[in-house]
Amino acid sequence: MARKKHFQHGSLFKRGKRNKVWVARYWEPVIGANGEADRVRRSEILGTMTDLPTRRDAQMALSDRLRRVNSADYHPRSCCSLRAFVQEWEPQVLPTLKYATQEHYKYVVHTHLLPAFGNVQLRLLSRESIQIFLAGKMKEGLSWRTVKHLRTTLGTILGTAEFWGYIEDNPVRKTRLPRRGPQPERTVLSPEQLNSLLQKLPEPSRSLVWLLVLTGLRIGELLALRWQDVDLKAGLLRVSRTLYEGHFDEPKTRSSNRTVPLSAKGVEILSRVQPRTVELDALVFRTKNGTPLSRRNLTNRQLVPVCEELKIPKIGWHSLRHSNATLLDAVGTPLGTVQSLLGHSSPEITRGIYLHSLPAGAKEAVQKVEDLLTGPKRTQVEEIRNLGSTLIQ
């Protein structure tokens, strides 16, 4: 294969006093802002003197770096910054996603990614810089889950940049998430706490809590429910849409499109809120003007204040979905049935995230193990003997 016109060997020099390092310099072909071919001077640390003790070792490391640039198949990379690319990416990619996902991506991009990497060229985004960014966010106090979302969003953006030819590979794929420390247990109310909450809550939150605990629906699915989705005679409701910040959309996953049975209490609640003249397209739970209810307003005005008054743990609407899964498990519902009712795509999600043991159930399980190991108590044996003597007489 013929050499490229601008074949180069690069240059090497040492830098530092105590901890000396080998630094390489070379020219890299790029595509300028005007779309024309250009070259930029690169300066890159190859390693320390400990890693590369001789100039020959450093020269071999530099040759490895230049092999890609000197290749006849090398395509110059763009000098486009992450900020400029996002301005192109948002109007083309975001409209293809669900509304909730769009809002989440916008928040992550403009709150975390652009302040850190906005002015950095895509070709200069490295595994090291991204790894340092993720570790720094953990040190700032962000949760492991939030840092995971940052990594996922940046990986999605750079994956598109790779597909569009702006970069050769996606450096996010080479990073690792910081170590996940111990996670706090999700709050799941006991049946007694739920009963006290239901007795104290005003409408419409009382009906919403009842239905969420009984059906396991997501709050967005319940607030998006229309009368055409409800069959009170058959005791069924159909989940076919969700609501997020006033916007209707498809359910979260394909499995979330489902039919959910109603208990007698569920039918009673929906019968009570059903108007005399039913408009099939009307929302089941709505404001006086017929507009969707705001989950945030209900949380701040009704749910949280009542929890504080009763001195029980503050919960969100999604905690009630966890309560439903836990109660189903407590009464011996098969895992596959729980998965189907909750609309999960896999049983691992149901088992690993949504099933929590109730304290009473744990105590009962421990007692059963004790009974199995110790056998019947002496008092029970004596009672059986006395009962046998009485029957014989």
Residue ranges per domain, the chain?
A: 11-78, 82-174, 191-354, 365-393
Residue 251, SS3? coil
Residue type, 107: Y
Tell me the angle at which helices 99-108 and 144-163 cross, rounded to the nearest 10 degrees. Answer: 100
Beta strands in 224-378 (DSSP E): 230-231, 236-239, 242-244, 247-249, 258-261
What is the percentage of the chain residues whose pLDDT exceeds 70?
A: 77
Flag whether pLDDT at 372 surpasses 60: no
Would you say the C-alpha torsion 194, 321, 334, 370 has a positive or negative sign? negative
Three-class DSSP category at 254: helix
| pLDDT per position as a tens digit, 270-316 | 999 999 888 999 999 999 898 999 999 999 999 999 999 999 988 88
Same topology, domains 82-174 and 191-354? Answer is no
Q: Coil, strand or helix: which one is 331?
A: coil
- CA 310 from centre of chain: 31
- Is 191-354 CATH 1.20.1740.10? no
Q: Looking at residues 112-138, what average pLDDT do you find?
A: 93
User: The tokens 């109603």 sit on which residue?
Assistant: 262
Provide the CATH number for the domain formed by 82-174 in this structure: 1.10.150.130
Position 316 scores a pLDDT of 87
Query: What's the token pair of residue 194?
Result: 């739920």
Of the ranges 5-9, 60-64, 261-265, which one carries the lowest mean pLDDT score?
5-9
Pick the range with the lowest mean pLDDT from 19-23, 72-76, 103-107, 347-351.
347-351
Q: Residue 262, SS3? A: coil
Size of the chain, expressed as the number of residues it contains: 393
Is the predicted pLDDT of residue 222 greater than 50, yes or no? yes
SS3 63: helix
- Tokens representing 203 are 């409408």
- Residue 184, preceding bond cis, omega within 30 degrees? no
Quick: pLDDT tens for 132-170: 999 999 999 999 999 999 999 999 999 999 998 888 889
381 has pLDDT over 60: no
Between the alpha carbon of residue 230 and those of residues 224, 272, 334, the distances in Å are 12, 13, 26
C-alpha to C-alpha distance for 315 and 210, rounded to whole angstroms: 14
| Strand stretches in 194-255, DSSP E | 230-231, 236-239, 242-244, 247-249
β-bridge partners, 231: 236
Distance of CA 229 to the CA centre of its chain: 28
Distance of CA 171 to the CA centre of its chain: 21
**Coil, strand or helix: which one is 22?**
strand
Cα dist. 130→85, 140, 188 in Å?
A: 17, 15, 36
**What distance lies between CA 87 and its chain's CA centroid?**
25
Residue 229 confidence (pLDDT): 92
Per residue in 75-100, pLDDT (tens digit) is 666 678 899 999 999 999 999 999 99
